[in-house]
Structure formats: structure tokens, C-alpha cells
């Protein structure tokens, strides 16, 4: 890794900024090289590392640098003296060795699933837009490779009603078979993260096909499949206890009702004691319209009832949508937990009037937010609205790109990219009067984040010479955004550095943060164009609670979230 890194960096024209030179001089004691012990002190005092990791890293990095120097230049009298300024700068510019955030799982993973934000996909099988694109297992595979932990499959009968297809119903999207999706999930579920994969099933099937789904699921996943004994859970299990397990979340099937009219209401009254008339009517409308054929006799009905338990017993997370008012839907039951799905519009509506009810619901139950139906181009919404109200499953279209998706990718770079991020304690706590966190209430500033943008590097390696401008070098500038609760929103912009592939800004900004656990730092580099739209030069989004202090190499990504091989910024982060 060091050999490849060092040989590539020799191509760069970036020079160490004054602060890097000053740090080298300070810790080297004005010598031309920095010893292992001096480098260790730099890692502890300047970079904020603990002593154990600093000692290990210093020894390894200095030894590797000396070895590479010998291989490249031959023996030298200074080989035992430590690393020189150029090697020190190369280390600081390494996104692999000196990245901006923690790269290992470090959150407590033993709390219930409801205590975590979970990396969640929407219509995970679609390759493009919501109306006419292909359904495939390919986007499911890509999502799992990126750490997505919740995969959504819409299940519909085929024309012969003897098999199950996955597609966006009542559109022109082409289908893919359910079994192909399930097999791909099994193969790729844990390539990125060992923590559980949740499959959310949107069910449009007959009882016979539900039974077939149960058979497919159990045969495909085998011992990977987890499901509880009994009707439901009083508390969700933890991610740690569900490592390398796959769990199912869907609406439990209702008991089959073969008759129509007033007799339906009588049966519902028996099955749903205590339900309101509106709920019974709604049950008829939503549960019976596509679940039964009018010609079935009572024997077929009893057969259907027998098949449904085979499907129902596999459901770990019982799901549903609001059947009455949103306020009623958010009431917390004492004896069971569930998953509730709201559209982004419904969330905005209830958050405006009853935001604390949402927070209270998510302390024990799971809330899934999905894009509104008009997002036919597979665009997304602002995810931080859901997060600040405790919503665990903020479901996104992963096949596109754009600022909301960059934010989603940024949030789940936290906790080692495992797909589960522990929610802040304040979202899980009640006050002395049972009050809960209110996102609209401005809090005191908890800390100030000081960000310095030193320089940028790598465009000459990852882009053609004429990519940004045919006749001259590019004119880069950097934009910084804080995204989180409303009180923390902020944006800054560096000056434009003209005609330079290796821009040096040396600009510093201070951001006051009230809720750092919910805050993201979004960074975007643009190339200024006087007569047209500014060109895109790279982006990233970083969870502020995960930022490592000190001088760090910040890798940049393309529009779809793929990491550039070389493009990076050199930045400093301080918490004051």
C-alpha cells in the first residue's frame, strides 16, 4: 500500500502548507527528520489519537517510510533518523492512513433495533425511474455492497398466478423474479457489514402465493433467517444478537373472509373486538379487495387460513400504515412493538404539529419514511427531518444521485460504515415530566467546529487536462454546509483560486453546533465558469460526531458516491 501510495504522490505538485511545515518543525525539534517517538507525540498531541494506537501507527508508518526510501533511493545516512518533511506530508495526504473519520464499528450494538438509524433502501430492485425502468437484482447487489441494511421488494403475482414477481405495481416497470432477488440477497447480504439485513415486503399476493413466499424464504436463507416464536415482540432484538441474520418485515396477513356485505362486518367484529366501525370498513377495503376471489367456497377459505400462518410466523417486524389519524397511529402500545410507514409528506405534516409524538413513538417502535409518489425520477427528500425525529428507516432511492443521497451516504459512513448508527441518547430519553426531545426548540451551543481548508489535490490524476476548461487550468472553490437540526444550518464558501490544478485556500471557518450527533458537514468542490454552470469537482459528507481532530486527508466522491482514486482535500478539524 505504501509503495503504490508513495509512487503516485511523487506526481503531485502540491506543496506542504505553512501549518504543516510548522507542525513538522515543532515535533522534529528543528531537525530534518522526525523520529518515531516524535511522530508518536504528533499523533497524540496534534491529531488527538490515544497513546496505544499512536504508538502502533507511528512505529508502522515510520518503518514503512524508511523501507520505501531505501528501495527507491538506496541507503542513506539519515535512514535511522525518521521521516522527512516530504514523507510527513505524504502521510498527511493519505486518505487511507489519515482519513477524516473513524473507520471501525465503535457504537454499542447491544440495544434494541429501535435505538439505531438503519441504512434503508426504497424500491431497491429498480434500476432507474419509478415508472418504466427495469426491475433487477443488480441494484440490490450494489446497495448491499455499499452497506444498505434494509431492502424493499414489491411482490406481485405473475399472469398465471403461480409465481411471484418483483416490480413496481401498476407501472411499466419490467419484472424480476422474487427467487432471483432472494438468492442475490443471500450472496451479498454480509459482504460489507455483518449486521442484520431486513427485507421489507410490500405484499400483493394471494394466500397460496404467500405460502410459496414462506417456502422460498426458508429454503433460500436457511439458518440465516431469524424469526421469533409467538405473535409479536415486546422489544426488538439488538443488531449484535442478529449478526449474519436476515429478518422479514411486512404487514401480517389478516384471516381470510370469504363473504361480502353485512356478514363481513359481523366476522370482523368477532376478529377485531374493540375496533371502530371506520377501522372495520377500512379493513374490508384494504385487506379483502385483492386477497380473495369471489368464487371461493368455505373449504378454500379454511385452506387459505391454514396457509397464512406459514407466512405470518416468519415476520419479525410487524408493519403497517396509518388507518386512522396520524396521532392515533403514533400511540405507543405497552405489550408489542411495530413498524409504521409514513410518506415524506405525512412526516412533514405530523412533525409540524406533533413532532414530540413522533420522537416518543420512535423510542420503542420503528418508523419508516418513504418518498412521495410524485418522485417518479427516483429523486429523494431531506433525510435529516426524519433523523431529528428519531425515524430509524429513512428509505431512499439508491439508484440516483443528488444532495439528499450524499447526505444519506454521509450519515452511514459513521460507525465503520456498518449500516447501523446508534441514535443520540437525547432521542431515547424522557425528562422528569416525561417530556422528550423537541427538534424545533433551539438548544445551547454544545461545541464550535473549527474547519480549515488548506488545499486540494488529485484532479490532474483523475481528470483529463481539458475536462474543466479547454484553454486554461481550472478555477476551483469549496463550499461547506452544516446540515442537522434547524438551528445548526450554515454554509460557507472559499474564494476562487484561478488557473491552478492544485488550489491552495488556507481559509478557516467556525460553526457553532447545538446537536453535533445529528449534524453533517457537507463539502462540495466546484470549478467556476463565467459563462455557464459551474462544473462539479467532487463532494463528500461527513458525520460531525465522527470527525477526527487534526490535519486530515478528506477523499472526494463523484455524483453517485463513488470515491475518486486521487482527488482529495487537506483540511484541519478542531472542536473548541
- Which CATH number is 366's domain given? 3.20.20.190
Range(s) of the domain holding residue 68: 2-92
Antiparallel, parallel or unpaired: β 315-320 and 246-250 = parallel
Query: Confidence class of residue 71 from pLDDT cuts 50, 70 and 90?
Result: confident
Chain center to CA of 399: 14
Q: Confirm if 252 and 318 have CB atoms less than 8 A apart.
A: yes
Q: Confirm if 224 and 244 have CB atoms less than 8 A apart.
A: yes
Find, among 372, 370, 347, the residue nearest to 357 by Cα.
347
Query: Confidence class of residue 24 from pLDDT cuts 50, 70 and 90?
Result: very high
Q: Residue 274: its pLDDT value, please?
A: 40
Q: Residue 292: its pLDDT value, please?
A: 41
Whether residues 39 and 138 fall in one domain: no
Task: Out of 17-26, 268-277, 312-321, 431-440, pick the least confident.
Answer: 268-277
Residue 229 lies inside a defined structural domain of this protein = yes
In the predicted structure, residue 242 carries a pLDDT above the cut 70: yes
Residue 295 lies inside a defined structural domain of this protein = no
In the predicted model, what is the mean pLDDT of residues 389-418? 97
Q: Residue 566: its pLDDT value, please?
A: 97
In the predicted structure, residue 430 carries a pLDDT above the cut 50: yes
Residue 240 lies inside a defined structural domain of this protein = yes
The grid cell for 206 is 394471494
Whether residues 355 and 454 fall in one domain: no
**115, 168, 318, 389: the active-site residue:** 168
Catalytic residue check, 168: yes
Residue 267 lies inside a defined structural domain of this protein = no
Whether residues 80 and 160 fall in one domain: no
Torsion of Cα atoms, 182 then 130 then 538 then 417, to 10°: -30
Whether residues 482 and 547 fall in one domain: yes
Q: Residue 300: its pLDDT value, please?
A: 61
Whether residues 557 and 459 fall in one domain: yes
Query: How confident is the model over 511-555, as pLDDT tens digits?
Result: 999 999 999 999 999 999 988 999 999 999 999 999 999 999 999
Domains contained in the chain, number? 3
Query: How confident is the model over 100-157, as pLDDT tens digits?
Result: 999 999 999 999 999 999 999 999 999 999 999 999 999 999 999 999 999 999 999 9
**107, 115, 122, 389: the active-site residue:** 122
Measured distance CA(247)–CA(225) in Å, rounded: 6
Whether residues 128 and 64 fall in one domain: no
Query: How confident is the model over 343-359, as pLDDT tens digits?
Result: 999 999 999 999 999 99
Measured distance CA(189)–CA(186) in Å, rounded: 5
Whether residues 360 and 451 fall in one domain: no
Q: Residue 75: its pLDDT value, please?
A: 64
In the predicted structure, residue 461 carries a pLDDT above the cut 70: yes
Instruction: Tell me the pTM.
Output: 0.89
Query: How confident is the model over 465-516, as pLDDT tens digits?
Result: 999 998 899 999 999 999 999 999 999 999 999 999 999 999 999 999 999 9
**497 — phi, psi (to 5°)?**
-100, 115
The pairs formed by 535-538 with CB atoms below 8 angstroms and a separation of 24 or more are 535/467, 535/468, 535/474, 537/459, 537/468, 537/474, 537/476, 537/567, 538/564, 538/567
Query: How confident is the model over 74-115, as pLDDT tens digits?
Result: 666 555 579 999 999 999 999 999 999 999 999 999 999 999
3-state secondary structure of 542: strand
Query: How confident is the model over 216-236, as pLDDT tens digits?
Result: 999 999 999 999 987 789 999
**What is the DSSP code (8-state) at residue 156?**
E
Quote the crossing angle between the two packed helices 178-188 and 138-145, to the nearest 10°: 20
Q: Concatenated DSSP letters for 314-360?
A: TEEEEEE--SS-HHHHTPPPSS---EEEEEHHHHHHHHHHHHHHHHH
Residue 285 lies inside a defined structural domain of this protein = no
3-state secondary structure of 81: helix
Whether residues 378 and 466 fall in one domain: no
Query: Confidence class of residue 3 from pLDDT cuts 50, 70 and 90?
Result: very low
Question: What is the average pLDDT score of the chain?
Answer: 89
Residue 448's Cβ-side half-sphere holds a number of Cα atoms within 13 Å equal to 6
In the predicted structure, residue 21 carries a pLDDT above the cut 70: yes
Q: Residue 471: its pLDDT value, please?
A: 87
Query: How confident is the model over 271-299, as pLDDT tens digits?
Result: 344 443 334 334 433 443 444 444 444 66
Residue 568 lies inside a defined structural domain of this protein = yes
The grid cell for 472 is 486554461
What is the CATH classification number for the domain harbouring 473? 2.60.40.150
Whether residues 413 and 452 fall in one domain: no
Residue 281 lies inside a defined structural domain of this protein = no
Whether residues 135 and 81 fall in one domain: no
In the predicted model, what is the mean pLDDT of residues 384-407? 96
Q: Residue 19: its pLDDT value, please?
A: 97
Whether residues 374 and 479 fall in one domain: no
| Helices (H), ranges, 74-164 | 85-92, 138-145
In the predicted structure, residue 313 carries a pLDDT above the cut 90: yes
In the predicted model, what is the mean pLDDT of residues 316-342? 92
Q: Confirm if 549 and 508 have CB atoms less than 8 A apart.
A: no
In the predicted model, what is the mean pLDDT of residues 238-253? 97
**Residue 540, beta-bridge partner list:** 523
Residue 341 lies inside a defined structural domain of this protein = yes
Find, among 19, 30, 4, 1, the residue nearest to 89 by Cα.
19
**313 — phi, psi (to 5°)?**
-70, -15
What is the CATH classification number for the domain harbouring 13? 1.10.238
**279 — phi, psi (to 5°)?**
-65, -40
In the predicted structure, residue 207 carries a pLDDT above the cut 80: yes
Catalytic residue check, 102: no
Whether residues 361 and 233 fall in one domain: yes
Amino acid at each position: 500500500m505504501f509503495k503504490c501510495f508513495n509512487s503516485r504522490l511523487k506526481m503531485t505538485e502540491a506543496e506542504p502548507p505553512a501549518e504543516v511545515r510548522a507542525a513538522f518543525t515543532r515535533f522534529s525539534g528543528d531537525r530534518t527528520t522526525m523520529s518515531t517517538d516524535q511522530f508518536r507525540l504528533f499523533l497524540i498531541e496534534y491529531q488527538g489519537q490515544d497513546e496505544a494506537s499512536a504508538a502502533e501507527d507511528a512505529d508502522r508508518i515510520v518503518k514503512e517510510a524508511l523501507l520505501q526510501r531505501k528501495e527507491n533511493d538506496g541507503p542513506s545516512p539519515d535512514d535511522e533518523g525518521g521521516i522527512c518533511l516530504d514523507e510527513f506530508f505524504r502521510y498527511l495526504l493519505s486518505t487511507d492512513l489519515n482519513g477524516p473519520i473513524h473507520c471501525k464499528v465503535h457504537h454499542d450494538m447491544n440495544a434494541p433495533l429501535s435505538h439505531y438509524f438503519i441504512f434503508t433502501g426504497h424500491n431497491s430492485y429498480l434500476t432507474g425511474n419509478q415508472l418504466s425502468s427495469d426491475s433487477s437484482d443488480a441494484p440490490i447487489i450494489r446497495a448491499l455492497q455499499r452497506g444498505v441494511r434494509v431492502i424493499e421488494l414489491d411482490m406481485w403475482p405473475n399472469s398465471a398466478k403461480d409465481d411471484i414477481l418483483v416490480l413496481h405495481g401498476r407501472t411499466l416497470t419490467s419484472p424480476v423474479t422474487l427467487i432471483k432477488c432472494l438468492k442475490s440477497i443471500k450472496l451479498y447480504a454480509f459482504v460489507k457489514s455483518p449486521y442484520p439485513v431486513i427485507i421489507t415486503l410490500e405484499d400483493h399476493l394471494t394466500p397460496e402465493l404467500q405460502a410459496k413466499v414462506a417456502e422460498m424464504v426458508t429454503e433460500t436463507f436457511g439458518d440465516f433467517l431469524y424469526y421469533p416464536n409467538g405473535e409479536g415482540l415486546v422489544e426488538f432484538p439488538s443488531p449484535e444478537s442478529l449478526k449474519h441474520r436476515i429478518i422479514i418485515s411486512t404487514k401480517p396477513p389478516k384471516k381470510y373472509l370469504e363473504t361480502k356485505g353485512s356478514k363481513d362486518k359481523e366476522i370482523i367484529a368477532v376478529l377485531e373486538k374493540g375496533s371502530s366501525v371506520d377501522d372495520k370498513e377500512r379493513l374490508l377495503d384494504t385487506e379483502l379487495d385483492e386477497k380473495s376471489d369471489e368464487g371461493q367456497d368455505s373449504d378454500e377459505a379454511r385452506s387459505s387460513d391454514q396457509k397464512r400462518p406459514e407466512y405470518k410466523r416468519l415476520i419479525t417486524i410487524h408493519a403497517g400504515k396509518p388507518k386512522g389519524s396520524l396521532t392515533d397511529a403514533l400511540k405507543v402500545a405497552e405489550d408489542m412493538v411495530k413498524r409504521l410507514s409514513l410518506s415524506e409528506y405525512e412526516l412533514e405534516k405530523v412533525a409540524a404539529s406533533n413532532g414530540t409524538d413522533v420522537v416518543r413513538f420512535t423510542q420503542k417502535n420503528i418508523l419508516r419514511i418513504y418518498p412521495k409518489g410524485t418522485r417518479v425520477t427516483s429523486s429523494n427528500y431531506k433525510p435529516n427531518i426524519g433523523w431529528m425525529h428519531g425515524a430509524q428507516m429513512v428509505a431512499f432511492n439508491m439508484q440516483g444521485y443528488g444532495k439528499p443521497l450524499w447526505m444519506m451516504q454521509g450519515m452511514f459512513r459513521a460507525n465503520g460504515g456498518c449500516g447501523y448508527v446508534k441514535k443520540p441518547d437525547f432521542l431515547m430519553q424522557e425528562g422528569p415530566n416525561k417530556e422528550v426531545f423537541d427538534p424545533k426548540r433551539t438548544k445551547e451551543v454544545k461545541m464550535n467546529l473549527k474547519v480549515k481548508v488548506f488545499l486540494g489535490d488529485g484532479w490532474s490524476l483523475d481528470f483529463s487536462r481539458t475536462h474543466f476548461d479547454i484553454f486554461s487550468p481550472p478555477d476551483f472553490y469549496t463550499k461547506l454546509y452544516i446540515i442537522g437540526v434547524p438551528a445548526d444550518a450554515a454554509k460557507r464558501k472559499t474564494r476562487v483560486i484561478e488557473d491552478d490544478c492544485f488550489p491552495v485556500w488556507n481559509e478557516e471557518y467556525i460553526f457553532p453546533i447545538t446537536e453535533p450527533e445529528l449534524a453533517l458537514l457537507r463539502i462540495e468542490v466546484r470549478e467556476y465558469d463565467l459563462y455557464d454552470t459551474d462544473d462539479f469537482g467532487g463532494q463528500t459528507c461527513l458525520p460531525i460526531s465522527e470527525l477526527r481532530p487534526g490535519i486530515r486527508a478528506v477523499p472526494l466522491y463523484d455524483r453517485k458516491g463513488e470515491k475518486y482514486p486521487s482527488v482529495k482535500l487537506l483540511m484541519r478539524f478542531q472542536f473548541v
